[in-house]
Amino acid sequence: MKALVLNGSPRKTGFSAAAAAIARDHLASRQVEVDLVALADLAIRDCVGCFQCLRTGRCSLDDDMDALVARMRQVDAFVVVSAVRNGDVSACYKRFYERITYRLGFPLALEDRHTLAISVVGYMGGKAASRRFAGLQDVFHTRLSGHLHFAAGIPGGPPGPRETTRITTALDRLVQDVHTRRGRGLADRASFAVDRLIMRRFVFRGREDVYADVVRQWREKGYMD
């Protein structure tokens, strides 16, 4: 099993950085091949909205995203950690997320991967946004293994023993979900099916040139029939 831990908080000494390190170390102890990437350490430019990726699968920007996308395609599972900032995911996580929306999200390239989302807020807010975005649920439809939402105070320190246990328990479940290939729940299956229907009927219709690469990948999956 291969996993990628993505830390979306730029703060090196905070809860997110420590939680991401706990995730990496615990997964490694379970014989998972795991990498930890701090998104703030990468050169990630803003998506310019050229939509070239929809047609060709390739991005027009030249920075660290190509290598990261290649790594994301290779793994079975993600652990995404994001701090809540202004009631939402951090700016650096959002920038990364925009860059993969049409490249990995629309082609449903990650639909069979499992994700554990971990979010941390000072006092309150951001839970739903974190579940959707850090859980790669939104347009990616990865299989959400779990979502942990912590309140760490301001400034937040590293997880304590009880929080660490919650994280390692959720990681064990993630490993189990990958090994058993746990499928989607009923509600998730229904929303996934509705999403596919809308895309096929309304978004792709008459615009196959614009969505050429996405449509090609959906055809390969048998989703266009």
Ligand X SMILES: Cc1cc2nc3c(=O)[nH]c(=O)nc-3n(C[C@H](O)[C@H](O)[C@H](O)COP(=O)(O)O)c2cc1C
Q: Which residues are near ligand X by CB under 6 A?
A: 9, 11, 14-16, 83-87, 120-125, 152, 154-156
Of the two residues 12 and 221, which places its CB atom closer to ligand X in the complex? 12
Minimum Å distance from CB 10 to ligand X?
7
Longest dimension (CA), the chain: 55
Q: Which two tokens stand for residue 179?
A: 């090994």
Closest contact distance (angstroms) between CB of 158 and ligand X is 9
Residue number with CB closer to ligand X (13 or 176): 13
Q: Which is nearer to ligand X, 10 or 105 (CB)?
A: 10
- CA-based torsion, 97, 139, 69, 103: positive or negative: negative
**Cα 97 to Cα 91: distance, rounded to the nearest angstrom:** 10
Least distance in angstroms from the C-beta of 17 to ligand X = 6
Query: Which CB, 57 or 126, lies closer to ligand X?
Result: 126
**Min separation Cβ 90 and ligand X, Å:** 8
Residue (50 or 91) nearer to ligand X, CB = 91
- In the bound state with ligand X, the residue whose beta carbon lies nearer, of 15 and 102, is 15
Catalogue the E-assigned strands of 60-105: 77-85, 88-89
Sign of CA dihedral 175, 181, 186, 190: positive
Tokens of 186: 């009923």
Nearest-approach distance from CB 81 to ligand X, in angstroms: 8
Question: Which residues, including other chains, have CB under 8 Å from residue 194's CB and lie 6 or more apart?
Answer: none
Q: State the nearest-atom distance from the C-beta of 26 to ligand X, in Å.
A: 18
71 contacts 4 by C-beta, under 8 angstroms: yes
Angle at 171 between CA 78 and CA 176, to 5 degrees: 90
C-beta nearest to ligand X: residue: 14
